[in-house]
Structure formats: C-alpha cells, structure tokens
C-alpha cells in the first residue's frame, strides 16, 4: 500500500459516515417513475417513446446523436403516461418520460451481454449501457474511456476517496462487491492496455482499504493508495495529484497527463454490464441526515421519486427543511420531493431547520482562510469582490474559471460569505461577456 502526495489546502470537514455499516437494501418497484432526458454532462437526449407506449426494463427511451451524451433506459416495465417538460433544481426544464409501472419488471428482449474485441467496440458498448460517472458529476463514461488519439494513457485511477460527508455509497460497493470492482478494472486494463491501476481511498475507511488490498493482492499492477482524509480529496485533479504526483493544468483533461479516473461504482457497473448486458437503471443511494428516521443505503431504480426513497427509510422524524441530492459540500438543494433519482445520485440528505438555515453573511475581514483552503490555489475573496463589481477582466486575472466549486472556501469562511454562490455568478458573468464578444 502506498501513501502518496497531498494537495495543499482543502478543509477539515466532519465525516458523518453514519451509514457505513448499513448493508444495501433493495427498494421495491415504485408505482410510477419519472425519467428525465438529461442525467449527464452534455447534450440532452430526445425521447424515443410516446404517451401510451409500453416499455420494458432496459429499453432505450431516449437517445442523442451528439458525442457527449448518454442514452437513457427505462428502469421498469409499464406504460408511458406522459412525455413532458419538468422543472428541476437549478431552474431548468427537462423533457421527462413518466411511466406507470406494471410490477412485472419484464426484461427488454434486446438485453444481452455485449461482445467486443477491440477498444472501439468496447467504448460503444459502454455508451449503449448509459453509464455516466457515478461519483456525482455524471460525465459520460464512454467519453472518458476514449482518450484523444496521440494521448497515451498509462494509469487508471479508481476514485474511492468519498470525501463528502455522510456518503457511504462507494464504501458499500467495496465492502459488498470488491470482486466486481477488480473484474471491472481488469476489463478496462485489458481493453485499453493499461498496466498501472491505483485505487485511492481515504484513510478514514480502513476496512475498505483492507478489503481492496486483499482482493488486489495477487495482481501487482493494481495498487491501493491510502489517501489523507481531507476534503476535497476525491476531486479529480486532487486525486490525480495525490496518487501520481501529476498536476492537470487548468483547462486540460486527465488524459493530458496520461490518466483516466473512474469512480469505483462505475468500474463495478462495467463488470456487471459485460456479464448481463443490463444497462444503468438502478443506483445505490445513501439516505441520511438528521430528519431521516432510518438512515440507510438503498438500491433504487432510476426515476423513483425521492419522496418514496425517504418513505422507504421510515420517512421523516424531524420536519425537513432542506433536501439535498448529493453530499453537503457539493450537493444540490431540491425544491420538491417529486424529483426523481438520477443516474449519478449518490446521496439523499434531509436536514432539519437547525442544519438547513445557514448563518447570515457578515463583512469580509480578509483573514485569508479561503485562500488557504482553496485546493486550486485561487483567491476566493478577490473573486467574490470582483463578482460584486462585475469586473470581467479582474475575474479572469484571478482565474475564476479554474474554480472547481468544491466549497472549501465557503465552509471555512468565518464571515459566512456564500463564496461559491458568488463565484458561480462570476463564472456566468465571464461566459456571458465572452458570448457577447467582449474580453
């Protein structure tokens, strides 16, 4: 086991891994699912079913001819009851296919294990599977797995850092399905001809480190890297640096420094998919937070309304005031419980009033804590100042576009300034100015 480099900055966040020992429990098929046509970074899919159609499990119901996109499959068998735009957190309307389930979960006839003999066929099979990065960002996996020609990939990094508080979804995958992880890794190694695999796990998960070390023992090409527990250790650039010592320059991709980073759940899925041909239709979700009666790790079908996931966990004890999809550092606050589970949903958190209400903003005292905390080496307070002034030139001077929005700065700010919110606005200002043809 290797202990490698450590990035500068970051924040010491609480762990709250309350559900670490909660074995995954499978949720029943809901009465109705709502499956949005955008569950990834990239172009949204066009629905290829219409109201009244019957669909089966694993059937493609939305696809796109754009490269950076990922097909959407039905997670249930049943009848399409509606195809209409639905409002999601973030203020965007996405075409959503609503399916009334018949409870039989009949498989689509086209489902069979994919066959591939070279990397191109492998990558198109992965595209067909609908796999997107399951760590939370949802970047289409087939794009990750096809590096631009001329870029030699020598290292595959498996992201099992899981640095966000509460979430134990990656951890459970290692504890419950470690051989799947290894077999998924082996498939990628073989197809992409990679000889070096590093599995990064934070040192607050000794059991996971032990388990992965055990199953990887016989293969000296696969090594477990013990990472220091510090947020945002699982951020792609930080993880690459921690495991290999390589720094991805701003605006560049991991492939530019010869690595591919995959989430531990993603590689495990690849192993399952090559065996069964079943596309991505379900997801393990950590359900936690002070308002949840019985915190748990739940396997839910994609499209399940989150209200049903919470109900499955005993409902709410204390009245929830904030619902998060994802972790507390980067997760997205939801405005309704009708929102469905998405491909890359890894946690659903319910905060009561005491946790939901953030402290009031005060004046910046220039203490520099945000500067120390920024893993990207930026000056968050200057970005905030220049966003307020809408000073595009200065925002660029302070590298606003390099911000990864990890939230470390806002977390440590003693004046409780909503720095990430401000920086996001600053990025939007820069993009808008660029679109207008300004500097």
Partner 1 sequence: MEKSFIVSSSPHIRDNASTRQIMLDVIIALIPASLAGVYFFGPRTLMVILVSVLACVLSEYASRKLMKRSNTILDLSAVVTGLLLALNLPPTAPLWMVVIGAVVAVVVIKQLFGGLGQNFINPALGARVFLFISYAGHMTNWVIPGADGVSSATPLGLLKAEEAAEIVFPSYKDLFLGNIGGCIGEVSAAALLIGGVYLVAKKVIGPEIPLAYIGTLGLFTWIFGGPTFFAGDFLYHILSGGLMLGAIYMATDYATSPMTTKGRIIMGIGCGLLTGIIRLYTNYPEGVSFAILLMNIAVPLIDRYTVPKSFGGGKAVE
Q: Is 4 in the site for partner 1 (CB under 8 A)?
A: no
- Angle at the Cα of 390 (from 387 to 394), degrees rounded to 5? 75
Among 237, 284, 343, 427, binds partner 1 (CB under 8 A): 237
Residue 322 as a binder of partner 1 (CB under 8 A): the answer is: yes
3-state SS assignment for residue 255 = helix
Per CB under 8 A, the list member of 104, 115, 362, 432 interacting with partner 1 is 362
Binding test (CB under 8 A) with partner 1, winner from 87, 111, 192, 371? 371
Q: Which of 331, 336, 346 is nearest to 282 (CA)?
A: 346
409 is in an annotated binding site: yes
Q: Which stretch binds partner 1 (CB under 8 A): 55-63, 95-103, 249-257, 261-269?
A: 249-257
Site for partner 1 in 152-191 (CB under 8 A): 165
Q: Is 435 in the site for partner 1 (CB under 8 A)?
A: no
Question: Cβ closer to partner 1: 54 or 391?
Answer: 391
By C-beta, is 91 or 195 nearer to partner 1? 91
Per CB under 8 A, the list member of 344, 381, 384, 426 interacting with partner 1 is 381
368 interacts with partner 1 by CB under 8 A: yes
Among 397, 431, 432, 438, binds partner 1 (CB under 8 A): 397
Minimal distance in Å, beta carbon 301 to partner 1?
Answer: 23
User: Could you tell me which stretch among 7-15, 37-45, 132-140, 262-270 binds partner 1 (CB under 8 A)?
Assistant: 7-15
Distance CA 280, CA 277 (A): 10
Provide the greatest CA pair distance for the chain: 63
321 binds partner 1 (CB under 8 A): yes
Residue 313 annotated as binding site: no
SS3 state of residue 142 = helix
Task: Indicate which single residue of 333, 390, 391, 433 sits in contact with partner 1 (rule: CB under 8 A).
Answer: 333
103 binds partner 1 (CB under 8 A): no
Positions 57 through 96 that interact with partner 1 (CB under 8 A): 89
Nearest to 315 by CA among 293, 347, 339: 293
Nearest Cα neighbor of 334 from 319, 349, 354 is 349
- 414 contributes a contact to partner 1 by CB under 8 A: yes
Does position 310 bind partner 1 by CB under 8 A? no
CB 135 within 8 A of CB 346: yes
Residue 320 near partner 1 by CB under 8 A: yes
Cβ(121)–Cβ(99) below 8 Å: no
Measured in degrees and rounded to the nearest 5, phi and psi for residue 44 equal -70, 155
**Contact track, partner 1, 31-60, x by CB under 8 A:** ------------------------------
- Angle among Cα 355, 358, 361 to the nearest 5 degrees reads 160
Q: Quick one: which of 25, 189, 379, 433 contacts partner 1 (CB under 8 A)?
A: 379
Rg (CA), the chain: 21
Query: Does position 253 bind partner 1 by CB under 8 A?
Result: no
| 3-state SS, one letter per residue, for 291-305 | CECCCEEEEEECCCE
Least Cβ distance, residue 367 to partner 1 (angstroms):
5
Indicate which single residue of 192, 293, 396, 433 sits in contact with partner 1 (rule: CB under 8 A). Answer: 396
Task: Pick between residue 1 and residue 428 the one whose CB is nearest to partner 1.
Answer: 428
> Contact, 344 vs 164, CB < 8 A?
no
Asked if 249 touches partner 1 (CB under 8 A), the answer is: yes
- Identify which of residues 22 and 381 has a Cβ nearer to partner 1 in the complex: 381
**Three-class SS of residue 55?**
strand
Taking each helix axis from N to C terminus, what angle separates 206-215 and 169-192, rounded to the nearest 10 degrees?
30
By rule CB under 8 A, what count of residues binds partner 1? 71
Look at residues 80, 299, 259 and name the one whose alpha carbon lies nearest to residue 172: 299
- Choose, by CB under 8 A, the member of 330, 341, 342, 347 that binds partner 1: 330
Site membership for partner 1, residue 318 (CB under 8 A)? no
Residues numbered 338 to 357 that lie near partner 1 (CB under 8 A) are 351, 355-357
Q: Is beta strand 282-288 parallel, antiparallel or unpaired with respect to 347-352?
A: parallel
Q: Is the peptide bond before 257 cis (omega within 30 degrees of 0)?
A: no
Among candidate residues 282, 293, 421, 420, the one with its CA nearest the CA of residue 350: 293
Structure tokens at 30: 């809901």
3-state class (DSSP) for residue 383: helix
Q: Which helix (H) or strand (E) holds 238?
A: helix 236-244
Q: Where is the binding site, in residues?
A: 364, 367, 370, 374, 403, 406, 409, 413
Q: Where is the binding site for [4Fe-4S] cluster, in residues?
A: 364, 367, 370, 374, 403, 406, 409, 413
């Amino acid at each position: 086991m290797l202990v490698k480099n450590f990035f500068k900055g970051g924040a010491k966040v609480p762990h709250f891994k309350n559900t670490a020992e909660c074995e995954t429990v499978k949720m029943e098929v809901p009465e109705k699912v709502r499956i949005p046509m955008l569950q990834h970074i990239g172009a949204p899919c066009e629905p290829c079913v219409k109201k009244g159609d019957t669909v089966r499990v694993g059937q493609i119901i939305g696809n796109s001819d754009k490269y950076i996109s990922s097909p959407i499959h039905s997670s249930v068998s049943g009848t399409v009851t509606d195809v209409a735009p639905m409002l999601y957190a973030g203020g965007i309307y996405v075409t959503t296919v609503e399916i009334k389930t018949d409870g039989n979960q009949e498989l689509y006839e086209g489902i069979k294990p994919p066959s591939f003999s070279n990397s191109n066929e492998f990558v198109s099979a992965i595209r067909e599977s609908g796999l997107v990065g399951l760590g939370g960002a949802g970047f289409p996996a087939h794009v990750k797995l096809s590096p631009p020609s001329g870029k030699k990939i020598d290292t595959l990094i498996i992201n099992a850092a899981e640095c966000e508080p509460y979430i134990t979804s990656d951890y459970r995958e290692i504890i419950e399905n470690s051989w799947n992880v290894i077999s998924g890794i082996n498939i990628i190694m073989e197809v992409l001809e990679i000889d070096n695999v590093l599995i990064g796990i934070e040192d607050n998960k000794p059991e996971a480190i032990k388990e992965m070390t055990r199953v990887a023992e016989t293969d000296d090409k696969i090594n477990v890297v013990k990472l220091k527990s510090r947020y945002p250790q699982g951020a792609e650039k930080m993880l690459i640096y921690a495991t290999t010592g390589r720094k991805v320059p701003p605006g560049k991709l991991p492939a530019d420094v010869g690595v591919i980073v995959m989430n531990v759940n993603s590689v495990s899925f690849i192993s399952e998919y090559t065996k069964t041909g079943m596309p991505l239709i379900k997801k393990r979700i950590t359900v936690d937070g002070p308002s949840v009666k019985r915190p748990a790790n739940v396997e839910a079908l994609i499209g399940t309304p989150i209200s049903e996931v919470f109900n499955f966990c005993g409902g709410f004890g204390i009245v929830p005031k904030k619902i998060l999809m994802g972790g507390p550092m980067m997760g997205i606050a939801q405005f309704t419980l009708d929102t469905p589970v998405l491909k890359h949903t890894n946690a659903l958190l319910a905060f009561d009033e005491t946790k939901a209400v953030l402290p009031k903003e005060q004046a910046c005292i220039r203490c520099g804590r945000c500067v120390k905390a920024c893993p990207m080496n930026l000056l968050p307070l200057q970005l905030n100042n220049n966003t307020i002034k809408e000073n595009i030139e200065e925002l660029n001077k302070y590298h606003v576009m390099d911000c990864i929005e990890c939230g470390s700065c806002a977390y440590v700010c003693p004046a409780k300034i909503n720095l990430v919110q401000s920086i996001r606005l600053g990025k939007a200002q820069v993009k808008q100015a660029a679109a207008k043809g300004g500097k």
